[in-house]
Amino acid sequence: MNDRNSKNILNQNKNMKIILTILILILSSTSVLAQKEAFDLTTYTAPENWVKETRENAVSYINTNNKTWCRLIVYRSTASKGNTKSDFESEWNTLIAKEYNITEAPQSSEEVEAEGWKVKSGSGSFYFNKQPAIVMLTTFSGYNVCLSILATTNSQRYLETIKNFIGNVELKKPAVGGADTKPTNQQQSSNTAFKFTTTNFDDGWTATEEPDWVKVTKGNTTVLLHYAKEGTTNAADPEPHINTAWNILVAPRYSNLKNYRIASPSLDPQRAYLGAGNLTDNKTGKQVYVALFRKGSSNWVEFISPDKNSFVKEFGTDINNIGWDASSDIWNPLLKMFAYNKFAVAASDITGKWASWSGSNIQYVNVYTGLDAGMGHAQNGNAIVFNANGTYNREYKGISGSPGSGNQYYGEKNNGNAIVNNWELKLTNAFKGETHVFTAQFEAVKGGRILHLWRGNIEEMHLYRVK
């Protein structure tokens, strides 16, 4: 590869244009006269004469031509983390940052939506065999699942193939969505700062907020959705990683550990970690089977069952049968439990200021000289003050800029009534005087709540209390 081509492949400005083009293609692609193939939820047109490799969790296509190469990978769907941003960040960290030793944040696109799927894409650069290369990740989120397509190459000659491949992808809805977590009713509490601390779901599970976790119960099974805790997610090989979390989160409440085993299949693109064993509950003196689990960037989840057979019957996962090449589908029943961290919203709960912030930047490089050509950036903030009298004040501010064009400032202010009804929030006199209706729910975290608001596929906010 010559020096000029090396500079081209690392040009982040061009990479970002490629990604945005891919997203446009996804939204407007039409069928082409070529052989279609399918993997999991994805149907696509395979590039001709490329070498195909199939694994349990992914299918890939590879092409080499002298010193240039390209690889396309379609990954099997996994349970969504709850929103597109979290899905993309988790996929990037698991599939790219660790695999290619990339420490810089990706240059990412804005989220777009099509046919119930939300799409986010990003790119980065790395070196392979001392030669520059680029990696591009496109993540699709919807219907309680996410899936990704990854492309790596060391030559721009493959970029058109990458665009055509991703642009003609078709996605089908999962046959079964995520956990059926429709809440049927909620219970009030008088001993916390929030009105609703218990949610009863129509599939029989009940979630209760507690100081160190959300406790989810059904019959004789208890699941603890642990809040983030220092020292439990430090990077390490599977055995010390699981053992460290076990010693912090599980061991202090139990004794007489027997038949302890761990499992962490190495082929899973979002590596899962599972430790399990028989224990004596120090509080009740009963014999129980405990499993501790996390996957990707999630928090830890603790499953407590009367015995191993009860756990396997409820969640379908037998740690003794998990091999290094196990399908990622085995984790779906465990991942579904995250959806039960869901609580209704009362007007008294939201009084005060809530806010969210986001930002991104693009480093431009001259395609011919390789010298710095400036930086583009975009930042925005969203703040809402809910007043005790049922009114609200909302302010949105943003700034963006690119080399040669200076900064552009924008924003909007709205004032109106905030009408809260457990799982719904209405804001009157919003944009252009409209009334906006949001689906609303709280997620419990250590010492507080996150307020999640969705207005269909049009708008979503994930707010933290400021004061």
CATH number at residue 439: 2.40.128
Q: Do 329 and 303 sit in the same domain of this protein?
A: yes
pLDDT for 407: 82
Q: Do 101 and 51 sit in the same domain of this protein?
A: yes
- Tokens standing for residue 428: 């009157």
In a 10 Å sphere around its CB, with 0-12 CB exposed, 13-18 middle and 19+ buried, how is residue 167 labelled?
A: buried
Confidence of residue 233 (pLDDT cuts 50, 70, 90): confident
Residues linked to residue 147 through DSSP beta bridges, in sequence order: 140
Last residue of a domain, one of 306, 338, 370: 338
Confidence of residue 167 (pLDDT cuts 50, 70, 90): confident
Domain count of the chain? 3
Last residue of a domain, one of 338, 359, 384: 338
pLDDT for 199: 94
Q: Do 191 and 128 sit in the same domain of this protein?
A: no
pLDDT for 168: 82
Last residue of a domain, one of 338, 367, 396: 338
pLDDT for 144: 80
Mean predicted confidence (pLDDT) in 67-74: 91
DSSP strand E in 210-298: where? Answer: 213-218, 221-226, 254-263, 272-281, 287-295
Q: Is residue 432 part of a domain?
A: yes
Which residue, 172, 166, 149, is CA-closest to 76? 149
Which residue, 213, 219, 247, is CA-closest to 232? 247
Q: Is residue 159 part of a domain?
A: yes
Q: Is residue 176 part of a domain?
A: no
Confidence of residue 181 (pLDDT cuts 50, 70, 90): low
Q: What angle do CA 72, 143, 378 make, to 5 degrees?
A: 65
CATH of the domain at 84: 3.40.1000.10
Alpha carbons 112 and 120: distance in angstroms, whole number: 7
pLDDT for 19: 44
pLDDT tops 90 at residue 165? no
* Higher per-residue pLDDT: 262 or 360: 262
Q: Do 107 and 203 sit in the same domain of this protein?
A: no
Alpha carbons 300 and 233: distance in angstroms, whole number: 9
pLDDT for 179: 40
Which residues contact residue 135 at a Cβ distance below 8 angstroms, ignoring those fewer than 6 apart? 96, 100, 102, 123, 124, 125, 126, 150, 151, 152
In a 10 Å sphere around its CB, with 0-12 CB exposed, 13-18 middle and 19+ buried, how is residue 351 labelled?
A: middle
Q: Do 319 and 191 sit in the same domain of this protein?
A: yes
Helices (H), 168-256: 238-249
Q: Do 392 and 364 sit in the same domain of this protein?
A: yes
pLDDT tops 60 at residue 70? yes
Which residue, 423, 395, 425, is CA-closest to 410? 395
Alpha carbons 411 and 391: distance in angstroms, whole number: 20
Q: Do 200 and 112 sit in the same domain of this protein?
A: no
Q: Is residue 177 part of a domain?
A: no
Show the domain range for 103. 3-171
Helix axes 159-167, 12-28, angle to 10 degrees: 30
* Higher per-residue pLDDT: 150 or 379: 150
Mean predicted confidence (pLDDT) in 325-353: 92
* Higher per-residue pLDDT: 21 or 90: 90
Residue 221 sits at φ, ψ, to 5 deg, of -110, 135
For the entire predicted model, the pTM comes to 0.59
pLDDT for 362: 76
Mean predicted confidence (pLDDT) in 311-340: 91
Cα dihedral value 44, 45, 51, 53, nearest 10: 20
pLDDT digits over 402-447, tens only? 777 778 888 889 999 999 998 999 999 988 888 888 889 999 999 8
pLDDT digits over 110-126, tens only? 888 777 788 888 888 88
pLDDT tops 70 at residue 29? no
- Percent over 90 (pLDDT), the chain: 40
Confidence of residue 325 (pLDDT cuts 50, 70, 90): confident
Contact 428, 417 (CB under 8 A): yes
Buried b (16+ CB within 10 A) or exposed e, 117-135: bbbbbbbbbbeeeebbbbb
Q: Is residue 53 part of a domain?
A: yes
Q: Do 413 and 458 sit in the same domain of this protein?
A: yes
pLDDT tops 70 at residue 457? no
Q: Do 294 and 361 sit in the same domain of this protein?
A: no
Q: Is residue 352 part of a domain?
A: yes
Q: Do 11 and 147 sit in the same domain of this protein?
A: yes
Q: Do 391 and 437 sit in the same domain of this protein?
A: yes
Q: Do 190 and 152 sit in the same domain of this protein?
A: no
- Percent over 70 (pLDDT), the chain: 88
